[in-house]
Amino acid sequence: MPLLIDLLREADNPKFDQESHVNGYFFYYQINCQESLKKFDARPLHGLTCRHSRQKEYGEMDFWYAIYTCVTGALFPGLFAFFLIYTGITGRYRRHLRERLGLIPLKALQGMGPGPRIWIHAVSLGEVRVAESIINALRQVAPECAVVVSTTTEHGRILAEALFKNHIPVVYSPIDFLGCVRTALRRVRPDVMVFLETEIWPAWISEARRLGIRTALINGRVSPRSINGYLKFRPFFKGFLHKVDAFSMISREDAARIRSMGALPHRIAINGNAKYEILAHVPDPYLETDMRQTLALDPSHTVIVAGSTRHGEEEMILDAYVKCLDAFPDTILIIVPRHIDRTSDISKMVRHRGLTCQLRTGIGKDKAERTAKVVIFNTFGELFKVYSVATIVFCGGSLAPLGGQNPLEPAVWGKPVLYGPSMEDFSDAKALLESARAAIPVATPEELSEKLLRLLNHPQEALAFGRRAREAALKTRGAALGHAKLIAKLAGKS
């Protein structure tokens, strides 16, 4: 309860002109912007303006946001009470709960410079990597900008803290409830609010707009699998997309999809995929050396790596692997599932086929040596390193209809890459590799077995695929710079 009291006290600060109204669906407070901003710091304002200059009065809040506010406002107290009970019993999510309620510690923001403030929201591990690329580019085009990064997941936060250390504040994102986002925005006071990929948060976007904060959807992607779902609720999304100042999309297809959802065409740009930017460099060979030592592998070992596999794919991969063992009995299989909570089920599948396996957490320094032919990774953040020791790589999420996995990650290591027919989420990378004859698509589990055996029987052909894949991957540069220039423009620094 003290947390909720703090949240409500700050969200409805008495320094604001409290002028309660009821307008059919909701109530609101008419905010005196400049007075409200004084509470948090004396940072000079750069692009942040009173909401009178960029938005309608609170009493003219749009219909869909009114509905959204009513629904979330009605549900929040009950869900929050349930959440507190769950946290008390399990201990999960207890840490940094205040941040998720929008009560971001001002101490974390104290070291930020006086330049335009950019808040970049990166949900999890993949988005944090994108944020890293864009921030590096932003330092080139607008070095005076100060950046703060938020994540949703714990693993995303851990990675962000490791990447940015003490140079950039890292916080948890607020729950998309009016009081939470309003409090968080007033504390951070960004000049530009950046959402990576497809993050459409109605309250967050709307409250940023009302406070005069520029908003942008950067490295935007809308997959073919998700567009139909969005279009079913087009009237709802259209209103919120109209509040976004800029869309920097990955491809023409993504731009067309976001436009069909209601984004204004003149606000849409296409700048490529910044996720590939970190791959456009020769990877550190130490990563391979370290992984080989950990897994007791030498370069003569034949290793098949199945990366980011999903439910249903492990059985297909294991069946193909068993066929490979008949001709190549020393072949090692490494499975890196997308969701590590499935480790136990995968271990059972391995044993059911008469094979032995070890978990990654039980292997390495001061632990057991790898002796099993099948290794299951039950850790986060190691997939890129695992690719370095592969002879052949299969990208998961592609035989199961789930959009695929980034094929450029193994490609940059010079590995031959196989994937199934479902690669919608990485269609640009797929097209790049296939145009260079650097990838091997497979349509069925049977074809997966055939292609694996062919590459094992023809190692020079496998090496040639790997060389072409690496050459193609090293050409993927420039996207992060394009996204960074757009952000700098919104911040008034272009």
- Mind listing the pLDDT tens digit for each residue in 111-138? 888 899 999 999 998 899 999 999 999 9
- Provide the 3-class DSSP secondary structure of residue 469: helix
Q: Select from 80, 51, 49, 68 the least CA-distant residue to 203.
A: 68
Q: Which two tokens stand for residue 140?
A: 């080139």
Residue 176 has pLDDT above 60, yes or no: yes
The pLDDT score that the predictor gives to residue 6 is 56
Query: Distance (Å, rounded) from C-alpha 228 to C-alpha 9?
Result: 41
Average pLDDT over residues 387-410: 96
The alpha carbon of 117 is separated from its chain's Cα centroid by a whole number of angstroms, namely 21
Domain(s) labelled CATH 3.40.50.2000 in the chain stretch across: 285-473
- List 358's β-bridge partners, or say none: 375
Distance of CA 2 to CAs 7, 103, 306, Å? Answer: 9, 12, 47
What's the token pair of residue 461?
């052909």
Q: Which of 278, 109, 130, 283 shows the shortest CA–CA distance to 217?
A: 130
φ, ψ at 357 (rounded to 5°): -145, 160
Residue with tokens 């714990």: 154
Cα separation of 213 and 339, whole Å? 36
What would the two tokens of residue 298 be?
Answer: 């030498």
pLDDT number for residue 62: 80
What is the pLDDT confidence band of residue 13, given thresholds at 50, 70 and 90? low
Check residue 173 and report its DSSP letter.
Answer: P
Segment 290-310 mean pLDDT = 96
Q: Is the separation of the CB atoms in 407 and 429 below 8 Å?
A: yes
pLDDT for 89 equals: 85
Is the predicted pLDDT of residue 471 greater than 70, yes or no?
Answer: yes
pLDDT at residue 59 in the model: 36
Return d(Cα 173, Cα 98) in angstroms, integer.
10
| Confidence grade of residue 7 (pLDDT, cut at 50, 70, 90) | low
Q: How confident is the model at residue 282 (pLDDT cuts 50, 70, 90)?
A: confident
- Average pLDDT, whole number, for the chain? 87
Tokens of 374: 């099948």
Residue 37 scores a pLDDT above 60 = no
Q: Is 57 exposed, middle or buried (0-12, 13-18, 19+ CB in 10 A)?
A: exposed
Q: How far is CA 13 from the centre of its chain?
A: 33
Compare 52 and 425 and report the one with higher pLDDT.
425
What would the two tokens of residue 472 be?
């193609």
What is the band of 477 on the pLDDT scale with cuts at 50, 70, 90?
confident
Domain 2-278+481-490 sits in CATH 3.40.50.11720: yes
Q: How confident is the model at residue 10 (pLDDT cuts 50, 70, 90)?
A: low
**Strand 246-249, strand 214-220: pairing:** parallel
**Alpha-helical runs (H) found in 107-153:** 125-141
Give the pLDDT of residue 3: 56
Delimiting residues of CATH 3.40.50.11720 domain(s) in the chain: 2-278+481-490
Percent of the chain surpassing pLDDT 90:
72
- β-bridge pairing 192-196 and 246-249: unpaired
Per-residue pLDDT averaged across 26-34, rounded?
33
User: What does the pLDDT average to over 165-192?
Assistant: 94
Which of 127, 130, 177 is closest to 153 using CA atoms?
127
What tokens appear for 375 in the block? 């290794």
- Sort residue 50 into left (φ over 0), alpha (ψ -120 to 50) or beta: beta
pLDDT of residue 408: 94
17-31, 269-283, 355-369: which has the highest mean pLDDT? 355-369
Question: Helices then strands (H, E): number in the chain?
Answer: 20, 16
Residue 275: per-residue pLDDT: 86
- E strands in 291-331: 303-309
Whether residue 420 contacts residue 442, with contact meaning beta carbons closer than 8 Å, is answered with yes
Q: Which helix (H) or strand (E) holds 412?
A: none
Predicted local confidence at residue 32, as pLDDT:
36
Residue 4 is predicted with a pLDDT of 52
Which has more confidence, 377 or 478?
377
213 vs 71, 95, 102, CA distance in Å?
Answer: 25, 29, 17
Nearest by Cα to 35 from 201, 186, 220, 146: 186
The whole-number pLDDT of residue 83 equals: 82
What pLDDT is stored for residue 57 in this prediction? Answer: 36
Q: 91-100, 352-361, 392-401 — which is least confidently predicted?
A: 91-100
List the beta strands (DSSP E) in 311-445.
332-337, 357-359, 374-376, 392-395, 417-419, 439-441
55 vs 363 pLDDT, higher one? 363
Mean pLDDT of 404-432: 94
26 vs 377, residue with greater confidence = 377
CA distances 210 to 50, 131, 283, Å, are 8, 25, 44
The residue-averaged pLDDT of 242-256 equals 95
pLDDT for the residue 12? 54
SS3 43: coil
Backbone φ, ψ for residue 8 (5° rounding): -65, -35
Topology (CATH) of 285-473: Rossmann fold (3.40.50)
Residues near 1 by beta carbon (within 8 Å), at least 6 away in sequence: none
Retrieve residue 257's tokens.
């999809």
Q: How confident is the model at residue 265 (pLDDT cuts 50, 70, 90)?
A: very high
User: Is the per-residue pLDDT at 56 higher than 90?
Assistant: no
For 146-166, the pLDDT digits (tens) are: 999 999 998 899 999 999 988
Strand partners, 90: none
pLDDT the model gives residue 63: 86
What tens digit of pLDDT does each residue of 64-116 get?
899 999 999 898 888 888 888 888 888 777 778 899 999 999 988 988 888 99
d(CA 350, CA 147): 46
- pLDDT band of residue 42 (cuts 50, 70, 90) is very low
E strands, 310-403, in order? 332-337, 357-359, 374-376, 392-395
- Of 321, 317, 296, 284, the closest CA to residue 395 belongs to 317
462, pLDDT greater than 50: yes
Token pair for 346 = 């995968």
